[in-house]
A and B are shown apart, each in its own frame.
Chain A
Amino acid sequence: MSLLEVKDLYSGYGKVEVLFGVSFKIEPGKSLGIVGPNGVGKSTLLKTIVGEISPKSGSISLNGIDVLGKGPEDIVRLGLCLVPEGRQIFGGLSVTENLQLGLTGRKDKSTSKKALDKVKEIFPVLTSHAKHQAGMLSGGQQQQLAIARALIADPKILLLDEPSLGLSPTVIKDVFDQLKSIISNGTSVVIVEQRAHLVTSFADETLIMRNGKIQARITPEDAKDELKLKHAYFGSDN
């Protein structure tokens, strides 16, 4: 049984259909990349998985439990956390308060302190800024805070929407290094990115989306072939 299994998913906004029969699965402790140009439905896919959008048809199961029809707050408790595009940290609250909000979705509250200490270990920069307003942090620090906050809920699978957005190359490297350490601790990670090269070399498998469909599945080995990657990303006409 896969950790997350999406089968033949059709979704969109009202009458506008965006996803057409998307299917994939991810196993525990693995990483999956989803790449594609702007507007192909990557964020819609994530929003549908976390319950922000109701799909037209298809199925989504987490550890064998059907999550269709459940609200975002229930899905978090089942072990699926999203780090949204633009981070969506609570800028008016302190770093510590932001981290504590992550505890809301945690099932086992008795180990809350341990969880807080653990993420501070992964993201040491958050300890030195603990009392600062989250809105005053730099872009990279905010991204680390958003990931740390999601990790505190003890997710089995972490979904990240454009984690490199607005970050410098050095900071992106730091963030991806921290994601590697998260995966090595047994948490599965799904990364949605426009910048294909960031994900294809990082993830165990990368799905390439175009026009609301998965057009190709590539491994880090395949990604070394620039031409193959280009064709998969833009289509064979380019």
Chain B
Amino acid sequence: MEKIKNISGITRFSFIELFGPILIITAASCLIGFSSASLMLTVQFALCYFVMVLALQVFVGNSGVLSFGHGAFAMLGAFVSGLLTAPVRIKNNALSMTDLLQSIADIQVNLYLSLLIAAIVGGVVAGITGVFLMRLNGLAAGIATFALLGVAYNFFFNNTKFGPGSQALPGVPKFQNLFIPLLLALVALVLVYLLNVSSIGRTLRATREDNLAAPALGINIIRVRRIAFALSGALAGLAGAMYSHVAGTVQVQDYYLGFTFLTLSMLVIGGSGSIWGALVGTLLVISVGQVLLMMEQGKAIFGLSIDLPNGARAIFIAATLVVALLWRSSGVTNGKEFAFPNFKKKSN
């Protein structure tokens, strides 16, 4: 324990806070994922969303600066990993890929390397755009990051040299089991936790609490935000890449508004201040969303059949977000990390 605490500036490390979520995510993934093939796919998607929510937690949760732009890094990660792993034969022959640059069409790397490259590209692009974006606060930051998402979307949607444009990229190899996405999600979780309890996480939270007092302590707000933005961009790139290998395809629309608002909702509903909040938000939205989807499709749940109109799921999630914000603006977990419930009676 002391050794961990001696790592640069880490002081708040707690095994319970870290291993509680690890245990829950592993148990939930295995119990649900191994019960049926369709549920395994749901769990794989949930793990991608969780990594994306963790990416948002690193930056949005810790700094308090709203970002709609992380979908751009996920989009980039998906395209990088998808294009790097799709078979050369498919890229050279697919009707949607006739304009693809030959240098991209002729390259193929293995899945693991492509995931790493996707994360690096996401991080580098976030680092570069962060140089300009991290000077902004509040509404201006939200709008500017939204513009970044718009630029990325229009670039991939209209450009057929770097992808299939508005079409789907076929032939992206899928994860063959639950193990790889689960392992990636756990690695992301550990990294984010260590970052949160390090001096970077602490400094970032201080800038969220009071961005006037922070410089008086020698904190360079722009610099620390840039670092966090780049790291969260790398995680978003990884999340996008994972998503493409669960879906088996890359389509630019999958990473646009729906993806952005869904993942932000997960973070806000759970509690943006902690990784426990990120996990609870993801679990809540995915599980409730899954039940509502089954109702929309007219499927019976525990022998009970309730038909819901199409779109009910999206409306419910939006309503839950509003209720969560009204009831507890800091999320279901109140932004706190995992802890065992204390049943001891308080003595007077």
Contact = CB atoms under 8 A, between A and B. Distances in A.
B135 interface: no
A96 B206 CA distance: 13
B151 interface: no
Interface string A55-90: 000000000000000011100110001101000111
Nearest to A74: B218
B209 A90 contact: yes
Measured as residues with beta carbon below 8 angstroms from the partner, the interface class of chain B is: 20 to 34
A153 B217 contact: yes
Contact of A88 (B12, B205, B213, B220): B213
Given A88-B212, A100-B9, A76 B205 contact: no
A48 to B, nearest CB: 13
A73 B205 CA distance: 17
B210 A90 contact: yes
Interface residues of A, number: 29
Interface string B128-148: 000000000000000000000
Interface of B: 9, 11-12, 199, 202-203, 205-206, 209-210, 212-220, 273
B11 A97 contact: yes
Given A73-B219, A76-B218, A96-B11, A101 B202 contact: yes
A77 B12 CA distance: 26
A71 B209 CA distance: 20
A50 interface: yes
B216 A88 contact: yes
A165 B213 CA distance: 17
Contacts of B205: 90, 92-93, 97
Given A88-B212, A96-B11, A100-B11, A149 B217 contact: yes
A200 B207 CA distance: 36
Given A96-B11, A100-B202, A105 B210 contact: no
A105 B217 contact: yes
Contacts of B9: 100, 103
Contact of B206 (A82, A90, A153): A90
B217 A76 contact: yes
Nearest to B205: A93
Given A96-B11, A100-B11, A104-B203, A50 B209 contact: no
20 contacts: A52-B216, A76-B215, A76-B216, A77-B218, A81-B216, A90-B209, A90-B210, A91-B209, A92-B209, A93-B202, A93-B209, A96-B11, A101-B206, A102-B217, A103-B9, A103-B199, A104-B218, A106-B218, A150-B217, A153-B218
B217 A100 contact: no
A89 B205 CA distance: 12
A88 B213 CA distance: 6
Nearest to A105: B218
Given A92-B205, A92-B209, A97-B12, A71 B199 contact: no
Contacts of A81: 216-217
A89 B218 CA distance: 14
Nearest to B220: A73
A94 interface: yes
Interface string A117-159: 0000000000000000000000000000000011001000000
Nearest to A99: B11
